[in-house]
Structure 1
Amino acid sequence: MFNRTVMAGASSSENPQPEADEEVPDGLVSDSHDDGVELQGTGHPDSPSRPFEDEFIDSDEDYASDYTMPDPTTLFRHENGRQYSIGPHPLPNDELGLAYMEAVAYLFRKALSQHMPDNLVLSSGSAMDGGENADDKPLNVLRVAAGRGEWAIAFADIHPFSNVTALEVAPIFATDWVPPNCRFLIQPNDKTQKGRWSRPFDLVNLGLGCFAGQEIINHAFRYLVPGGRIEIERIVLTPEPDDPADATDPVYTNSRLWTWSRLVNEGMIAVGYPIHDTAEHERMLHAAGFVDIRTTDLSSRRASSSSPPTEGDANIRVETVIAAHLEGISMTPLTRGLGWSKEQVVAMCPAVREEILGSGSGPRLRIHFPMFMCTGLKPTEG
């Protein structure tokens, strides 16, 4: 079992440095597969032990029992005072970056439980058929962009007879316990995180950090069983007025927030991580061959500019989280993508933050960042 946090290098200093003496935590079995690293927990003593099927691993690859975890300093890099994975992923994963991941993931799950209480993911704990013995139905589940690992661990705990595989680009998982039916794979150089798929899956969940495009959606379709389900989680960084009638109001269209959003989205395209909206995801799912495609809007909107966020208003709190992390969200698309300097990015963010929070001389813009879940099924025939 994990006896400490499985994470290397996070720090709140200006130039965070990974711990030099990071080792494989006790109770982990580690292995390499091309550029991947596997972390698997031994589980809780009261949990049933169910070994993973060999077919998950390509037939010409073996697990090495004496594999040693790579030096964590090789899995992270530092740029503009922030820590990133060594791959091209655009979001930082230092202490502030992890705080952002955890906050938006929590708010997304909360909104999902309010809008889709019968959804497979965590909110109900029932398997896809929803039958009387749903909790005992074995499922092979893949979570792409696992973040800190809470989703994968909770799902595996709720479904002890299912196998859950979680992919991430860096060892940022934070947990003291991993069920025996849950494994983590680190693929730092695999942009689409699709390199080690060989087992058929019943469910593929593409997390908020996945930036799902056509390639990985096609890959998910290929490795889902007939009738299998894909789920795409998304928060779009293009703000929308709470009142659609305000969409052409110059107060919004000429705002610093709108300018920031346009530039960040242009930069994300430039670095190869475009943020797709609902229509684009539906089109890509259809092109891949999925059927029964559905999009659930998880956004919340305020009735007036003076309305404070309520306890259940997840999306308003998402905008607050985004406002608090503007620099981290903006740095890669604007510097690496559009050629800005770090100083230019930092200088732009305070005015944008004031418009989101209403903390400056102007009014608080009545906006939300669209948040949705898009799902589809692989046909059972054909």
Structure 2
Amino acid sequence: MAETSTQEQTTASCPSANVEVDTSYENDSSYGDELSSYSASLTSSVLDYRHENGRRYHKYRDGSYLLPNDESENDRLDMVHEMCLLVLHRKLYLAPIEKPQRVIDLATGTGLWAIDFADLHPQAEVIGSDLSPIQPTLVPPNVKFLVDDIESEWAYERNPFDFIHARYLAGSIKDFGRLIKQCYRSVKPGGWVEFQDWDPYPISEDGSLNGTALQKYYDEVYGAFEEAGYVVRPGPKLEEWFKDAGFVNIHVEKFVIPYGVWPKDPHLKKIGAWAQAGAEANGYEAGALAALTRFKQWTKEEVLVLASKARADGRKRDIHMIFNFYVVYGQRPEN
């Protein structure tokens, strides 16, 4: 059944070549100038960012991602990268891959994961795709970045990957099941797909989060994301989506991420410090501004007050907030 489904999807994504020709281009000496102009307009559409409430957002597929892409947000994403490395004891991935030749990092953000992977596997061609071209230009020779919307139809089935990686897509994808099925079709038989993602609704084992401004912040913000159609809590559902897509040898690991330095365990204390540092780097504002002002009719000032109160609660040592973080990987069957 999996092979039949894959063939159907491949055929559907490769329509017949009934493309009408623009005859005005034929025998036109100005074709080169026209091509340059058209290419420039495409580039402009990607770089013409949206500015709103003092933050900068992507313009390509405008509105499909609700967090900013400015320097402050990029710094926060780099902090999250370091925190994830701490959680996984400096490992970039947990899947048992061996000598991958072709790899893609979905929604790569600032590109640090793709760059680190390219350094670790110099024999591999590594692609990082994202809605925003915010990645550095000085990168290893075996990595390249593409502007792409991973929720659109892919064209990778003809040249599939050995390994597909995705991390921190919570709140940015509307149909995870479809996305993971696209991963299945675009990975080689025997290849691996790994998603690392959150259940970003926090909990406290001692009830210290109940009734706080922190709890109100997450309820309001994630409620807005969910009303807008985004999947906010992908982590606990990843295993089910992997099974539905047809993957085998599925492995699930759940990690606890505390917020702040209140844990006694030194390793968890360090992770908690990075989690708090990321949120303190304008993370509260970044997560709330677009969702609440676009979909819940909040004013910018109301959002900033909510974020300020949440930040203040986050600094209280008697509030013991934790998140669950999931790493799920699976293999496409050899046959």
Q: CA deviation at 1:346?
A: 0.5
How far apart are residue 293 of structure 1 and its match?
2.1
**Structure 2: tracts of 5 or more residues without a match:** 1-13, 20-31
1:206: which partner in 2? 166
Q: In the alignment, is the contact (CA less than 8 A) between 1:320 and 1:356 conserved in 2?
A: no
- Which whole-Å deviations, capped at 9, do the CAs of 1:223-268 have from their partners, x for residues lacking one? 1111221111223321122xx3x2xx3x422222112111111111
Per-residue CA deviations over 1:130-182 (Å, capped at 9, x if unaligned) read xxxxxxx3421111111112221222232222211110101100242331x22
Shift of 1:72: 6.7
* CA drift at 1:291: 2.1
Measured on the aligned residues, the alpha-carbon RMSD in Å equals 3.2
What is the CA–CA distance in structure 1 between the aligned matches of 2:102 and 2:16, rounded to whole Å? 18
What does residue 5 of structure 2 align with?
A: none
The question of 1:356 aligning with 2:314 is answered yes
> Structure 1 vs Structure 2: percent identity of aligned residues?
25
Correspondence 1:1-382 to 2 at 5 A: 70-71=43-44, 74-86=47-59, 87=62, 88-113=64-89, 119=94, 128-129=97-98, 137-179=99-141, 181-187=142-148, 190=149, 192=151, 195-198=154-157, 199-209=159-169, 211=172, 213-241=176-204, 244=205, 246=206, 249=207, 251-301=208-258, 305=262, 307=264, 313-324=270-281, 325-358=283-316, 363-381=317-335
TM, length-normalised to structure 1: 0.68
Shift of 1:194: 5.1
Residues of 2 paired with 1:172 and 1:193: CA distance?
20
* Contact 2:107/2:150 (<8 A) preserved: no
8 Å CA contact retained: 1:291, 1:378: yes
Alpha-carbon contact 2:92-2:113 (below 8 Å) kept: no
**Moved >3 Å (runs of 4+):** 57-61, 64-69, 72-75, 193-196, 209-212, 300-312
8 A Cα contact 2:129 2:146, kept in partner: yes
Q: Structure 1: 5+ residue runs without aligned partners?
A: 1-56, 121-126, 130-136
Aligned 8 A contact 1:264 1:330 in 2: yes
Aligned-pair CA distance for 1:348: 1.0
How many residues align? The count is 296
Native 8 Å contact 1:320 1:357 kept in 2: no
Q: Secondary structure at the match of 1:298?
A: strand
Q: Is the 8 Å Cα contact of residues 260 and 275 (structure 2) preserved in structure 1?
A: no
Paired amino acid for 1:163: E
- CA displacement at 1:329 relative to structure 2: 1.0
Contact 2:247 2:330 in 1 (8 A): yes
Query: 2:309 and 2:77 mapped to 1: Cα distance?
Result: 23
Report the counterpart of residue 4 of structure 2 in structure 1: none
CA shift, 1:82, in A, is: 0.7
SS of equivalent to 1:107: helix
Aligned-pair CA distance for 1:197: 2.5
Structure 2 Cα separation of the partners of residues 377 and 306 of structure 1: 36
Secondary structure of the 1:173 match is coil
**Aligned residue in 2 for 1:24:** none
SS in 2 for 1:237: strand
Whole-Å separation in 1 of the counterparts to 2:301 and 2:266: 32
Letter in 1 for 2:177: Q
Q: Deviations over 1:94-142 (max 9, x none)?
A: 111111111111211222235x68835xxxxxx714xxxxxxx342111
**Contact preservation (8 Å) 1:270, 1:338:** no
Query: What is the distance in 1 between the residues matched to 2:263 and 2:169?
Result: 32
- The TM-score normalised by the length of structure 2 is 0.77
1:193-247 CA distances to partner (integer Å, 9 max, x unpaired)? 6544342111110122474511211110111111221111223321122xx3x2x
Secondary structure in structure 2 of the residue aligned to 1:239:
strand
The question of whether the paired residues in 1 share the 8 Å contact of 2:53 and 2:300 is answered with yes
Instruction: Describe the shift of the 1:118–1:305 C-alpha distance in structure 2 as closer, same or farther (beyond 3 A).
Output: closer
Looking at structure 2, the residues matched to 173 and 304 of structure 1 have their Cα atoms a distance apart, in angstroms, of 31
Q: CA distance change for structure 1 residues 368 and 320 in 2, over 3 Å: closer, same or farther?
A: farther
1:191 and 1:81 map into 2 onto residues whose CA distance is: 27
One-letter amino acid of the structure 1 residue matched with residue 271 of structure 2: A
More helix by share: 2
How far has the Cα of 1:371 moved from its partner? 2.3
